[in-house]
Structure 1
């Protein structure tokens, strides 16, 4: 249990840092100036329309807690969401946003919103596997940032089997999900040149989570968490690793590992989550505005993905870093292993919690959406 929480916290650390990053693309190995073909995907943000029913909404000021800094991409997305609602309700609903974990750290977020201490959070859910096990389906999807967000939307809001299960799970925690945002693309990086995953076999590979997937590739895994990775690469404790693209640039890992390969997987999450008692105080018209705002913020997050990816690729090019993409075969093989490792964790948790049948439904639909082969383990 302790180990699962630690790994979950690492996943939240990653999500918080990579909320808006994307990449991936064609099979080539190129210079740092090469942009992955899916990274340039741009969506158009829908302008907020002033609600004609705003006057019927009782004036409210909602408390929004966030672990993101206001200047981070995650903070910008929250501000965008809140601005949309304030404009669309003509000021009937306003927000006090507490950035930078002022009200609580990632391990305290769920308690804050469930109890009503705050009205809203962007829910970094991975540490809460026991509280929201069905939402903790594999958090990555190929082949681009939009599809990763669509994956979360499909299972949570659209599929007739899985959506009621995941939403009921949220309601049991006294919250409702409105939508998700992009978590960006992921990369393998190494101190030495490589174009195939097999070329990293025998290397000391740093990983803080998904260790069974890396071991299945034949890697010698050295458990290493993001804050220690730069030093680990610099000192030769590890020779390669894998992580979200944007944090590797923010943490300057490219200074000690000059070879990057997009792995074809993208993350999503950070659900816009509202306390149910707060939600009940909103008129139906205002509730619709909130849902529209979440959809608009999703589009905004994808735009930030493209912008941040382009800017960070320029940083890598200036630093002489080689950037490419794994072959289609390697990308498919890697995602299969990643999905299997995550699904195994999900099933072990489901068995412990007595929700095996529901978890099988979610994972079966997740596998179908992403195109991987998966079947529940034989009893």
Structure 2
């Protein structure tokens, strides 16, 4: 759609028309924060001089495109700015999947996002895999901790053997070795998948399960604290970006940093609150929502059931000349340098 400039008053303030969109609705926290943090901060910064203002054309909730087209929609200018869901872009964004193939490495979203932000600045291969698609990354997104939500109760990780569990894109690999069958999906499809019997439950996160009411159809929440994952970025079409005045670009760069920081803190702080809220909201349903904290030995058992996911992910990429092992090591080292203790040293296997 591109940015267009038009004078709005005798003060020579210019209005820039931009479309901002996403496949997911505003009730999903990291989407809602595009509006409440990124857009709001951009407006706030620009208001300091009054030279420019942005007229935002909002198209959230899949009104322009669905979850399988988040990258191409920004790349092709269907939207100027949008959230790119990297989980569903494994072929085009291979290095961005590193955290997904190194599960149980960290349960600290702010730390993980800090590592990814640093890698984007220092690792050319990582940055180029995004920028080659005619876009500029402004902010990064991640997840809170993943747990298992099911229609029937389970007592341990062995009980998911034979179950069909929905999972977003590459995160289905976290079920390998458990005997569960991964069903590809996203937060926008999970509820219906369970309701219609396509799946028996989901591998999902509290901040997504709460607004989409997954607890209504999968009331048994088994807390394994499987860790967090890098999930994508808020990006702007490069042609649109190049057309923007430098002052507007600088405002968006700062707003993007603020978005990443606020989003990381939000993921950490609201995870427990979301769990408690689901129990509260589901108290009167039949069966009521039940949260079971799995013993540490069950978490360890799950980790040890997994094959060498990172090695299997890296090998074919290395054959293509993509420095997957180097990137994985940099990611894991970044976590360790910040005090994290991965449950499994994926980069050493």
Distance in 2, matches of 1:149 and 1:172, equals 22
Aligned twin of 1:271: 233
Identify which of 102, 107, 129 aligns with 1:143. Answer: 107
User: Does 2:243 correspond to 1:287?
Assistant: no
How far did 1:126 drift? 2.4
Aligned twin of 1:323: 291
User: Does 2:261 correspond to 1:296?
Assistant: no
Judged with a 3 Å threshold, the aligned counterparts in structure 2 of structure 1 residues 182 and 256 are, in CA distance, closer, same or farther, namely: closer
Q: Is the 8 A contact 1:152 1:269 kept in 2?
A: no
Describe how 1:59-70 pairs up with structure 2 within 5 A: 59-70=15-26
Aligned twin of 1:86: 43
Distance in 1, matches of 2:308 and 2:15, equals 48
Aligned twin of 2:5: none
Judged with a 3 Å threshold, the aligned counterparts in structure 2 of structure 1 residues 291 and 328 are, in CA distance, closer, same or farther, namely: farther
Distance in 2, matches of 1:181 and 1:86, equals 21
The C-alpha deviation readout for 1:25-58, integer Å capped at 9, x for no partner, is xxxxxxxxxxxxxxxxxxxxxxxxxxxxxx9996
The C-alpha deviation readout for 1:178-214, integer Å capped at 9, x for no partner, is 22134222112452352x434x265635244655542
How far did 1:308 drift? 6.3
Gaps of 5+ in 1: 1-54
Give the TM-score taking structure 2 as reference length.
Answer: 0.73
Describe how 1:327-346 pairs up with structure 2 within 5 A: 327-328=295-296, 330-331=298-299, 334=302, 340-341=308-309, 344-346=312-314
Aligned twin of 2:73: 112
Gaps of 5+ in 2: 1-10, 336-341
The C-alpha deviation readout for 1:206-231, integer Å capped at 9, x for no partner, is 244655542423x3436475332245
Q: Point out which structure has higher relative CO (alpha carbons under 8 A, 6+ apart).
A: 1
Distance in 2, matches of 1:258 and 1:312, equals 12
Distance in 2, matches of 1:289 and 1:267, equals 28
Judged with a 3 Å threshold, the aligned counterparts in structure 2 of structure 1 residues 321 and 344 are, in CA distance, closer, same or farther, namely: same
Count of aligned positions? 309
Q: Is the 8 A contact 2:138 2:253 kept in 1?
A: yes
Describe how 1:219-368 pairs up with structure 2 within 5 A: 219-221=179-181, 223=183, 225=185, 226=190, 227-232=192-197, 238=200, 241-249=202-210, 250-253=212-215, 256-302=218-264, 304-305=266-267, 306-307=269-270, 309-317=272-280, 319=283, 320-328=288-296, 330-331=298-299, 334=302, 340-341=308-309, 344-348=312-316, 351=319, 354-356=320-322, 358-368=323-333
C-alpha RMSD of matched pairs (Å): 3.5
